[in-house]
Amino acid sequence: MTRVEVAIVGAGFAGIGVASALRRAGRDDFVVLERAASVGGTWRDNTYPGIACDVPSHLYGFAAHPNPAWSGTYAKGAEIHAYLEHVVDAEGLRDRVLLRTPMRGAAWDAEREVWRLATAPAGPSPQSPGRQAAASGEIVADVLVLACGRLTEPAIPRIAGLEHFPGPLFHSARWDHSADLAGARVGVVGTGASAVQIVPELARAAAHVTLFQRTPAWIVPRGGDAYSDADRARFAATPQALETLRAELYAEGEARFASRSGDSAAAAEAEAVARAHLERQVADPALRAALTPDYAFGCKRVLLSDDFYPAVASDAVSLVTSALAAVDGSTLVASDGTRHDVDALVLATGFASTRQPYAELVSGEGGATLAGHWSDGMTAFASTVVAGFPNLFVLNGPNASLGHSSSVLMIEEQAAYVTRVLDGRGGRVLRVDPEAERTYTDEIARAAASTRWMTGGCRNWYVDERSGRLALLWPGTVDAFRERLARADGSEFLPEPVIEGIPA
């Protein structure tokens, strides 16, 4: 058995962020459980051709760890993975990370007032020698932090015959690099954020790409430049230049909230940019119409690309404007009845976002699971703490994502809240007042009600289909989130029960 004050599950941005915050706050009694063989989260798992961030690189990092070496305005996936590895070393976290150690279950022990985590057996890792899970596979912690990410489990559509497809078949987040797609006929299902990066790359190498589009996306110019050696040298020599750039990018991100959330004038201006981008890049009016969304700008995730439209407009790609309905051997059958022969199939079909798989594994007071508590959609006070689950914190979970700026900013605010709450805990059990969680959830609903995510006429992965509530996004700016968490004064937690003869 391993005994610690804090157990953190997940070593992506959220897990590394909260571990760093704990270390800087003087708390060293923690471990980070990571199921994979290295840290990095989504930037470790996603290695598809063309993967890059669509948030400016100098905003997509921790404030305490500016990176003067980013290659350009938008960092490539491998760079971000390397950056997270660097932060782990810079913060001295390497010996706190238990690699190849998946959490199999976590249960609140009411008698001893601790969390008991069951883990799979794990041996020493070359990347963290000397750190391994206990032989019993149990970790006992006063506090549990779930930093498992929201885009970790691929969503595989239920399609008749899919399991019998004879060629290479994989999800974009589990890219099979052993599959030689050069000169192959490749089917791609989906036109979201991953697909707009993948399709242009495949169009350059494959014999042909057949793209299944259920719903088109609003796409705006990506732009951006590569940083020169001189740029990187200047950033390294003058940290103030990086701070100024980050501040400028932050302000630009906050200003984008208006167009994403439903401000009519801002949305109309942004939509005009997207329409002009489409018209410049796609000459065929019929194809242009097929690529034009019929829902409000901002309702679904707005994508950035300068090469997706040209790829789709080229002879290398055929756009099928309907869903993939069935697979008949190596023939893909669309819902419009058309049939398309391919050699390989890529599913760019997103993730299980509103129904987090880890929730089934976590049992709080009375044995209730987090999945049960979230059966009507994810909720949490301050987007971080959950009623019925003592001493539990969830990062990057309910209403903690953004549709307009860097999610790392939200992680940093949540990590600061975690450390502040733990500093004031004084050894007591933190039980969230259910009324505080309900009130916060109602606040979210009121703020979200007029946004395009709720009124824009689309189906998006931000809204839980069971309740119709906005469950993933914070319906405000980063400044507003910081201010809301700053108003959390501890009254969100129930007072300790009075035991006869012992003052509370």
Structure confidence by residue, pLDDT tens digits, 266-277: 999 999 999 999
Please indicate, yes or no, if residue 493 is contained in any of the structural domains. no
Please indicate, yes or no, if residue 435 is contained in any of the structural domains. yes
Count of H helices and E strands in the chain? 14, 18
Q: How does DSSP classify residue 228?
A: P
Q: Answer with the one of 347, 377, 400 that is the final residue of a domain.
A: 347
Residue 279 has pLDDT above 60, yes or no: yes
CA pair distance 74, 85, nearest whole angstrom: 18
For residue range 450-467, list pLDDT tens digits in order: 999 999 999 999 999 999
Q: Please tell me whether residues 340 and 379 are part of one structural domain.
A: no
Please indicate, yes or no, if residue 448 is contained in any of the structural domains. yes
Please indicate, yes or no, if residue 241 is contained in any of the structural domains. no
Could you tell me whether strands 185-189 and 169-171 are parallel, antiparallel, or unpaired per DSSP bridges? unpaired
Predicted confidence at residue 133, as pLDDT, reads 43
Token representation of residue 79: 């760079």
Please indicate, yes or no, if residue 33 is contained in any of the structural domains. yes
Write down the pTM of the prediction: 0.94
Q: Is 379 left (phi over 0), alpha (psi -120 to 50) or beta?
A: beta
CA pair distance 405, 55, nearest whole angstrom: 7
Neighbours of 129 (CB within 10 A): 10
Residue 141 has pLDDT above 90, yes or no: yes
For the segment 64-90, the average pLDDT, to the nearest whole number, is: 98
| Structural domain harbouring 279 | 162-218+263-347
CATH of the domain at 64: 3.50.50.60
Q: Answer with the one of 347, 373, 403 that is the final residue of a domain.
A: 347
Q: Please tell me whether residues 281 and 361 are part of one structural domain.
A: no
For the segment 409-427, the average pLDDT, to the nearest whole number, is: 97
Please indicate, yes or no, if residue 290 is contained in any of the structural domains. yes
Q: Please tell me whether residues 302 and 426 are part of one structural domain.
A: no
One DSSP character per residue, 111-177 reads TTTEEEEEE-----BTTBTT----TT-EEEEEEEEE---SS-SB-----BTGGG--S-EEEGGG--T
For the segment 228-238, the average pLDDT, to the nearest whole number, is: 96
Please indicate, yes or no, if residue 76 is contained in any of the structural domains. yes
What is the distance in angstroms between the CA of the first residue and the CA of the last residue of the chain?
31
For the segment 322-333, the average pLDDT, to the nearest whole number, is: 98
Confidence of residue 496 (pLDDT cuts 50, 70, 90): confident
CA pair distance 381, 283, nearest whole angstrom: 49
Structural domain count of the chain? 2
Please indicate, yes or no, if residue 169 is contained in any of the structural domains. yes
Mean pLDDT score across all residues of the chain: 94
Predicted confidence at residue 121, as pLDDT, reads 60
Q: Please tell me whether residues 325 and 435 are part of one structural domain.
A: no
Predicted confidence at residue 423, as pLDDT, reads 96
Predicted confidence at residue 122, as pLDDT, reads 46
Among the listed residues 144, 146, 143, 145, the one whose alpha carbon sits nearest the alpha carbon of residue 425? 143
For residue range 183-224, list pLDDT tens digits in order: 999 999 999 999 999 999 999 999 999 999 999 999 999 999
Neighbours of 495 (CB within 10 A): 10
Residue 131 has pLDDT above 70, yes or no: no
Q: Answer with the one of 347, 368, 384 that is the final residue of a domain.
A: 347
